[in-house]
A and B are shown apart, each in its own frame.
Chain A
């Protein structure tokens, strides 16, 4: 279908039919104070030649460093077949087609994706994906407030060990809706939320409690204890998880006595490459009883007139095109292409492949921590059990060390100084299954030289 813009004559004709003097007049009901008056921070346009030069420069910086950085996005091996299949004409489209009569293949794939995410997280229902992990958490909390608003004021217990970017995204999305985020301190020795920290909040009412597993430091939270504590107070448990970790860890649906109610996270570790920060995709799964409050698209399986299986969008009365301003969310699409890749990735690796990738990442990070901790002045910060990330204390400012490592072609980790100044010179490191013992040795030797 070609893109044909309206001509001046078309616009004039339409305005005349409805009796409006100008296009601008159609927006009269929006108060002057709310109008956007230009975009100050957006620079003047560039020519095609200038853009091409700029982007070539940026592309040249991408993926050239030996990567020991995680912090929410991870370099994993992606079988060549994943993107070969994903970018075939049958799947590769600028927009996710949802018409049941024309898109059975895409809809079936989304249905398979949803089934896989339900199996991983231990939930009953999954939507067809969200934009990213941080906004999925914000949507999960809005959903929790709709589900559980009877449990006192709109307050959410948010551990300080949750990814700082997720916390700021949640703040940005939920603050205007009167949702209060109450911080929960982590134990400075173990790097996770302890029962003793919860005592401060004894007697407080919460709509929901967030549990990130593993947390931002890579440490495993006591998810059973936290879940039971939340449920004993009528709060809903919203789990934020790394989907790859679920190949080894207990699914959130089985945490504590009753399990989490809503699970979300970033799907990037499942076949999505690190490409300068995105696009990634978020996932959101929940219990059947909460499905009417779930945001986003959901694909269902049914049978057609001849009794053959068929796939179609379902429960659309939650969505904007039916419910208008009372819709569960303004999310009315999904990250179709990335979900396609994730579904193929999971299908190719299978449960055993995911488990091996996860276990190898845990082992490599353990080796990395042991090797780097052998250097003078480098020590692990937390004692809590970890998944595939760890926090190390350095004897010099982290930004200086990272800059020196980058000169040697190494991305040494993520500097925690800005988010957690109380930890001192703290560096978050990660070694996935893609790092070899040679890579780890190279990092250790280079770091020793720099320090």
Chain B
């Protein structure tokens, strides 16, 4: 059974978004997503400064058996990317909600997270699929 912490919101496409104290948000992929992909060997993140639209394909996670796009769950500007993933893509498998974060962004609309799923809704969405 995969973990789905309640302190953040989720997109149906398996990204999570968590509000940070400085007004930015951190983005990653869910435990369910990393488990489904298998051992990750490469992660490509968007460049800092890039403006993303909600739903835009902006990152790639590559495992030994598949390469998947990661979509921006909300619109905003990329402020920071997780540089550790270049040499340690396995962080995404080991700690998807912590060390394995993908990028941080400044939301274009302050409270855009409301449109996303809460933990319970995400859990039931992956149960259905």
Residues of A participating in the B interface, judged by any CB pair closer than 8 Å: 150, 292, 317, 322-323, 326
Contacts and interface: CB of A to CB of B under 8 A. Distances in A.
A323 B47 contact: no
Interface in B36-94: 42, 44, 47, 62, 66-67, 69
A432 B67 CA distance: 48
Contacts of A323: 67
Contacts of B69: 326
A317 B47 contact: no
Most interface-central of B42, B44, B62 (chain A CB within 10 A): B62
Contacts of B67: 317, 322-323
Nearest to B44: A292
Given A317-B66, A317-B67, 4 more contacts: A292-B44, A317-B62, A322-B66, A323-B67
11 contacts: A150-B47, A292-B42, A292-B44, A317-B42, A317-B62, A317-B66, A317-B67, A322-B66, A322-B67, A323-B67, A326-B69
A317 B42 CA distance: 10
Q: Which 5 residue pairs of A and B lie closest in terms of their CB atoms, listed nearest first?
A: A317-B67, A317-B62, A323-B67, A322-B67, A150-B47
Nearest to B63: A317
Contacts of A326: 69
Contacts of B47: 150
Contacts of A292: 42, 44
Interface of B: 42, 44, 47, 62, 66-67, 69
A303 to B, nearest CB: 16
B56 to A, nearest CB: 14
A150 B49 CA distance: 11
A19 B121 CA distance: 37
Nearest to A327: B67
B44 to A, nearest CB: 7
Contacts of B62: 317
Nearest to A317: B67
A102 B58 CA distance: 38
A317 to B, nearest CB: 4
A150 B78 CA distance: 15
A326 B62 CA distance: 13
A319 to B, nearest CB: 10
A322 B41 CA distance: 15
A322 B62 CA distance: 10
A56 B126 CA distance: 66
A325 to B, nearest CB: 11
Contacts of A317: 42, 62, 66-67
Nearest to A323: B67
A292 B42 CA distance: 9
Most buried by B among A150, A292, A317, A323: A317
A310 B67 CA distance: 24
Nearest to B64: A317
Nearest to B86: A289
Contacts of A322: 66-67
Nearest to A289: B86
Nearest to B42: A292
Nearest to B41: A317
A205 B62 CA distance: 32
Nearest to B69: A326
B42 to A, nearest CB: 7
B47, B62, B67, B69 — most chain A CB neighbours (10 Å): B67
Nearest to A318: B67
A100 to B, nearest CB: 14
B78 to A, nearest CB: 13
B51 to A, nearest CB: 13
A323 B69 CA distance: 10
Contacts of B42: 292, 317
A322 B69 CA distance: 12
Nearest to B57: A326
A292 B59 CA distance: 13
A122 to B, nearest CB: 24
A292 B47 CA distance: 16
B45 to A, nearest CB: 13
Contacts of A150: 47
A317 B47 CA distance: 21
Contacts of B44: 292
A317 B68 CA distance: 9
A9 to B, nearest CB: 37
B41 to A, nearest CB: 8
A189 B44 CA distance: 48
A326 B47 CA distance: 19
A323 B42 CA distance: 14
A326 B44 CA distance: 14
B121 to A, nearest CB: 29
A150 B69 CA distance: 20
A292 B62 CA distance: 11
Nearest to A316: B67
A28 B42 CA distance: 38
Nearest to A150: B47
B40 to A, nearest CB: 11
A329 to B, nearest CB: 15
B36 to A, nearest CB: 16
A323 B62 CA distance: 10
Nearest to B49: A150
